[in-house]
Amino acid sequence: MSQSRLYAQPDTSLHECVISLGSNIEPERHAAEALDILCQECELVGRSREIVTTPVGYQQQPNFLNAALLVRTRLSMSDFRAYLKGVEDRLGRVRGPIKSGPRTMDLDIVAWDGELVDEGYLEHDYVRVPVDELLSAVERK
């Protein structure tokens, strides 16, 4: 995937990361817990509203709650990706045989330092809609 600039990053020594958040197992509780963890352990710059979306792929599961977050971190992208997988684990994420199956929490890096790094943004409204709302709100500040 060729990288493209999704937004302009301010001059800072911290990395900026746009995160796509999704949950369909007790989604309100797990989204709130994920936000609490990330607020305590990262610098939260902004967040989108939460939207409800239908499952993609495996259909025999509840709807998802999706949102986007913009955070700052000193970690490298690979270390931050591992950190997010750890947050998912802390929230009870079980990685089962169905890749698109139910989950307590899914946290994916969409953009890193303003560069698009996840094609999910281009392919799925459940990623793009919250990210665009988030970036629009951050640009207005």
Considering the chain, what percentage of its residues have pLDDT values greater than 90? 78
CATH superfamily of 15-140: 7,8-Dihydro-6-hydroxymethylpterin-pyrophosphokinase HPPK (3.30.70.560)
Answer whether 109's CB lies under 8 Å from 80's CB: yes
How do residues 65-85 score in pLDDT, each as one tens digit? 999 999 999 999 999 999 999
Q: What is the pLDDT of residue 141?
A: 63
4 vs 115: CA distance, rounded Å: 6
Q: What is the pLDDT of residue 2?
A: 47
Amino acid at 130: P
- Whether this prediction's pTM lies above 0.85 is answered by yes
Look up residue 21 and give its two tokens: 């958040």
Answer whether 10's CB lies under 8 Å from 115's CB: no
For 46, the enclosing helix (H) or strand (E) is strand 43-47
Residue ranges per structural domain of the chain: 15-140
